[in-house]
């Protein structure tokens, strides 16, 4: 595991952890060709935020693509697919110069913890939509992500992968999952009018209901009919089809006419196909221990 220190707005420092089994030099070479990770994070924190920006915050594998499309449609006022991929405005791996070139309105999306928010998001009171997913499904999805993209030693059998996910460092390059969600919970209590917290499972259960919540939160004023059209357009299978047929791929390595491997199942409860009884008991103990000081509740089935 590697760490770098990032200075926060209050002058304190936080340690960012990289858990992909790569050195930081390897990460820099792969994602940040003209800079390093520390400099990239600092540049994103200094990103100029526009008055009509929306900020989408998610832990990896918690519905980023899905909700990004919903937000774009609500903001634009139609149920047509944007030809851009959400990665166009993905702050984790896009330079501030690239993001600056994107026309408004922008739906910025990022996996960074709340401590690493762009400063302008707080200064302007930018609306934040934060999406959470039950950790069992999120971790299973991330397991398949690492297997698909062959990301270091984490791309191994699930029984070896699970202890890595529940370790002190977790599976993300900055924080373990439980630290991430608890910090966003604290942020919500400090800035209740600025953030809308959604759950992946609620969106699956009743997308129209949840999109109406987003519509009200953003004051986009869209009709019930349009909300229903957006819910249909953003159904998992429809999004997967649109990714293959509509999206203009930025990465030349992505095959034309095929959906991104990011679209796997999009289900609630797939964790049951991976966890043994013993693993599930261990995981529940881990959750009880680490979420003892939070009010967060998660659903694992529908």
Place of tokens 């800035």: 191
How would you label 63-102 residue by residue, b for 16+ Cβ within 10 Å and e otherwise? bbbbbbbbbbbbbeeebebbeebbbbbbbbebbbeebeee
CA 243 to chain centroid, in Å, comes to 18
Taking the C-alpha atoms of residue 181 and residue 131, their distance in angstroms, rounded to an integer, is: 10
**Which residue in 18, 40, 65, 111 is the catalytic one?**
111
Place of tokens 């999009």: 266
Respond yes or no: is residue 111 known to be catalytic: yes
Strands (E), 211-288: none
Taking the C-alpha atoms of residue 263 and residue 243, their distance in angstroms, rounded to an integer, is: 9
- Tokens for 81? 């697919």
CB 87 within 8 A of CB 250: yes
Q: Are strands 195-199 and 13-18 parallel, antiparallel or unpaired?
A: unpaired
Place of tokens 């930081």: 24
Taking CA atoms, 131 is separated from 39, 102, 127, 260, in Å, by 27, 24, 13, 21
Place of tokens 């405005």: 89
The set of catalytic residues is: 111
């Amino acid at each position: 595991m590697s760490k770098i220190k990032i200075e926060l707005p209050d002058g304190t420092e936080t340690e960012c952890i990289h858990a992909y089994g790569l050195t930081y030099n390897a990460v820099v070479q792969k994602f940040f060709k003209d800079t390093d990770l520390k400099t990239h994070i600092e540049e994103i924190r200094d990103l100029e935020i526009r008055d009509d920006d929306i900020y989408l915050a998610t832990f990896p594998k918690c519905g980023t693509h899905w909700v990004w499309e919903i937000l774009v449609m609500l903001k634009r006022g139609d149920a047509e697919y944007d030809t851009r991929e959400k990665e166009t405005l993905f702050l984790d791996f896009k330079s501030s110069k690239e993001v600056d070139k994107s026309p408004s309105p922008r739906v910025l999306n990022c996996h960074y913890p709340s401590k690493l928010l762009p400063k302008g998001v707080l200064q302007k009171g930018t609306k934040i939509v934060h999406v959470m997913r039950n950790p069992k499904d999120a971790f299973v999805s991330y397991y398949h992500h690492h297997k698909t993209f062959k990301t270091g030693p984490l791309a191994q059998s699930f029984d070896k992968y699970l202890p890595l996910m529940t370790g002190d460092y977790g599976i993300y390059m900055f924080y373990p999952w439980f630290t991430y969600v608890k910090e966003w919970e604290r942020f919500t209590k400090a800035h209740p009018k600025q953030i809308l917290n959604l759950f992946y499972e609620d969106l699956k259960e009743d997308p129209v209901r949840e999109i109406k919540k987003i519509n009200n939160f953003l004051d986009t004023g869209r009709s019930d009919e349009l909300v229903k059209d957006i819910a249909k357009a953003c159904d998992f299978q429809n999004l997967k089809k649109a990714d293959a047929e509509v999206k203009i791929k930025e990465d030349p390595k992505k095959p034309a006419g095929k959906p991104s491997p990011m679209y796997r199942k999009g289900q609630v409860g797939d964790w049951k196909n991976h966890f043994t009884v013993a693993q599930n008991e261990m995981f529940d103990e881990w959750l009880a221990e680490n979420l003892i000081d939070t009010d967060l509740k998660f659903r694992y089935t529908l």
